[in-house]
Amino acid sequence: MNIAAAGDGVRMTLDELRELARKKLRAVGLSTDHADAVAETMVAGERDGCTSHGIYRLLVAASSISRGVVVPDAVPVASEPAKGVVRVDGGGGFAQLAFERGLPLLVQKARDQGIAALALNHVVHFAALWPEVERLADHGLVALAFTPSHAWVAPAGGAKPVFGTNPIAFGWPRPGREAFVFDFATSAAARGEIELRRRAGEPVPGDWGVDSEGRPTTDAAAVLDGAMRTFGGHKGSALAAMVELLAGPLIGDLTSAESIALDGGRGGSPMGGELILAIDPAAFLGAALSDHMARAEAMFAAIEAQGARLPSSRRYAARRESLANGVTIPARLYDDIMRIGE
């Protein structure tokens, strides 16, 4: 999604954008800690050209707060139920602050044990997962992250929603370079993309979903009322189930079906948990660390040498541009944002 209108917007530095986001999030009732953590995620999205996860999300967050879906002043509480496990109870607040509270403990445990897990519980999600795995890669750690969402997606062979869009993210540290990071939904398309097609009156590809009777359809509204499909057939469906299990029952938190039931039609962001795994390559490689990390670079070079892009390469290009020149917020979005909290 790119909601930017050409030549018609407000140019801002990232610092200005961060300040605006913090101010507006405080204005709708978020505590300062939450406002700072949430603003950081939105600025990162806007900076990297992921406008659907950028500053536009101020409107989504404000809506979630006004509908009572999120606890605006929740205080995350960290615990250590096992030597390799950190749990942060987010108290119904946005996930970002819970992650910030858990991150130092996760990093410490991964370095101590070689591998560790962070469970975020009882949090509200609206963001991508790449910021989390990238933060861990910045600490030299390999990372995986999983979260369910709302039940919108049918299993392969079925036609009724069971899974969420259930993203999987992975991060790999590249010394001196931006991390190798991917983050994708296990659904065939993002729900926001189908919503955009609906608004534009455009059809969707035939493998994106089915209508409420389980029939194939290219009608975006019918898919939104029916069920989305996973990417990659039964393989994507298996991965979607894995995400439900790992970031749902395994950590004692909601499945996508439970999240949407709890939402009760309010249209709020998904509630539940997130699981993040962190692995320290130094625990496996010791003194040979840099030799083996160089072998990973040889694989990346073999991919790029044939003209294929690494995941996140467009995002990193957008980042370099934004860091140098700031970002442009579309005029209409800017106006909508300025009205938040007034």
Number of residues that bind its own copies (CB under 8 A): 71
What gap in Å lies between CA 97 and CA 39, rounded to an integer? 11
Catalytic option among 16, 31, 40, 52:
52
What gap in Å lies between CA 47 and CA 323, rounded to an integer? 7
Using CB under 8 A as the binding rule, whether residue 133 contacts its own copies is answered as no
Using CB under 8 A as the binding rule, whether residue 210 contacts its own copies is answered as no
Count, residues in the chain: 342
Give the nearer residue to its own copies in terms of CB position, either 304 or 335: 304
Minimum Å gap between C-beta 265 and its own copies is 19
What gap in Å lies between CA 336 and CA 5, rounded to an integer? 14
Using CB under 8 A as the binding rule, whether residue 83 contacts its own copies is answered as yes
Give the nearer residue to its own copies in terms of CB position, either 308 or 324: 308
What gap in Å lies between CA 32 and CA 7, rounded to an integer? 34
Minimum Å gap between C-beta 201 and its own copies is 26
Evaluate whether 129 touches 167 at the Cβ level (below 8 Å): yes
Q: In angstroms, how far is CA 225 from the centroid of its own chain?
A: 23
Minimum Å gap between C-beta 42 and its own copies is 24
Phi and psi torsions of 57, nearest 5° = -65, -10
What gap in Å lies between CA 43 and CA 327, rounded to an integer? 10
Question: Could you confirm whether 274 is annotated as catalytic?
Answer: no
> Which residues in 227-246 contact its own copies (CB under 8 A)?
231-238, 241-242, 244-246
Phi and psi torsions of 248, nearest 5° = -120, -105
Return left, alpha or beta for 154; rule: phi > 0 is left, psi -120 to 50 is alpha, else beta: beta
Catalytic option among 193, 195, 313, 321:
193
Give the nearer residue to its own copies in terms of CB position, either 288 or 323: 288
Using CB under 8 A as the binding rule, whether residue 205 contacts its own copies is answered as no
Using CB under 8 A as the binding rule, whether residue 293 contacts its own copies is answered as yes
Question: Could you confirm whether 52 is annotated as catalytic?
Answer: yes
Q: What's the half-sphere exposure (Cβ side, CA atoms, 13 Å) at 315?
A: 22
Using CB under 8 A as the binding rule, whether residue 85 contacts its own copies is answered as yes
Q: In terms of Cα–Cα distance, which of 110, 117, 144 is closest to 279? A: 110
22 burial type by CB count under 10 A (0-12 exposed, 13-18 middle, 19+ buried): buried
Minimum Å gap between C-beta 325 and its own copies is 27
Give the nearer residue to its own copies in terms of CB position, either 63 or 121: 121
Question: Could you confirm whether 193 is annotated as catalytic?
Answer: yes
What gap in Å lies between CA 84 and CA 106, rounded to an integer? 8
> Which residues in 155-174 contact its own copies (CB under 8 A)?
155-160, 162, 170, 172
Q: Which stretch binds its own copies (CB under 8 A): 15-23, 36-44, 303-311, 318-326?
A: 303-311
Return the residue of 5, 27, 261, 285 that touches its own copies, per CB under 8 A: 285
Using CB under 8 A as the binding rule, whether residue 78 contacts its own copies is answered as no
Catalytic residues: 52-53, 193
